[in-house]
Amino acid sequence: MSRTLKNWFYFFAGGVFLTLAKTKSIIHGYSSPKPFSINETTKCIEYDISVVESWLSHLQKYQSTSPGNNLKNKRVLELGPGSDLGIGLYLLSKGASEYNAVDVNNLVQSVPNTFYEELFAYLKVNNQEIDESFLRGQLDKLRDGDNDKLNYVCRNDFNIASALNGRKVDIVFSQAAFEHFDNIEDTIGSLSKVTDKGAIAIILIDLQTHSRWIRDVDPINIYRYPAWLYRLFNFRGIPNRVRPYQYKEAFEKHGWSNVTIESDSLLSDHSYNFVKGHLDSKFKPQINQMNYLSVWLYATKL
């Protein structure tokens, strides 16, 4: 198959996957941010632990501090926490004074209790000093609607300031969620209202196509389509196609400094050269950094 025919094939195949994704969203809603079920408990726990450890590694790197617990006594906010509260409980176990999470889809309500039982057992095996009774107490309070140090709020409007209801935070974490936000200007503006001066944001953004097969063979497939056509595929949570420079500009506009963007994964030169002539004109300028498949964004609140 010639290069031109192959590009047209990916164009139409990507459209099929976007149509399927929209149909699934209409019928089933948003079911899971992970490529595996919440019932695969061990995988979910290991995933949660790995996410937190990655955040802490990047936090330490951004702060350029010597090894230590940069989380100690910090009020944490996670945007788009996903399918369970494992991350929040693990952050509390590592010294965070408070964990807050804001999401649109309430997936946490359907988490089986066996998940948390295995999580507590896992944490205890790996650190005998963990205060299991404290963690269990915080989970119970959240379930009873009497939130204390473990706070989880779902809002259809994703208004972060309203969700936190006057609480402030020192650290913002997010794992491959920002690319799903409908309006990053509104999100970052609301985020800026709940962060104190000196607060730090550590955010992973997945810039790729999200549908499984097409993601592997044509990672930036979603950037092939003009805006009018991409809007036809629209559903809540569809990748927003915001590029790194736009995230940087938005954070700086809303009062953040030292905004740093670093690549997490890159498209090969061969793959980029194959697709670049077939991208929508909006994404052809070099400023879009179309070889960036995922990035880390670090920022400090002024």
Express each pLDDT in 230-258 by its tens digit. 999 999 999 999 999 999 999 999 999 99
Q: What CA–CA distance (Å, rounded) separates 44 from 57?
A: 20
pLDDT attached to residue 109 = 83
* Percent of the chain predicted with pLDDT > 90: 84
Contact present, 157 and 221 (Cβ < 8 Å): no
Q: Domain-by-domain residue ranges, the chain?
A: 38-206
Please list the ranges in the chain whose pLDDT falls under 50.
none
pLDDT attached to residue 66 = 58
Q: What CA–CA distance (Å, rounded) separates 214 from 217?
A: 5
pLDDT attached to residue 82 = 80
Around 180, how many Cα atoms within 13 Å sit in the side-chain half-sphere?
19
Q: What CA–CA distance (Å, rounded) separates 294 from 177?
A: 12
Per CATH, the number for 38-206 is 3.40.50
Radius of gyration of the chain (CA): 20
pLDDT attached to residue 68 = 66
Q: How far is CA 247 from CA 56, 102, 202, 213, 242, in A?
A: 21, 19, 13, 27, 7
Q: What CA–CA distance (Å, rounded) separates 207 from 222?
A: 10
CA 52 and chain centroid, separation: 12
Question: Can you say whether the dihedral through the CA atoms of 114, 116, 118, 124 is positive or negative?
Answer: negative
pLDDT attached to residue 147 = 87
pLDDT attached to residue 286 = 97
Mean pLDDT of the chain: 93
Strands 75-79 and 292-301: unpaired
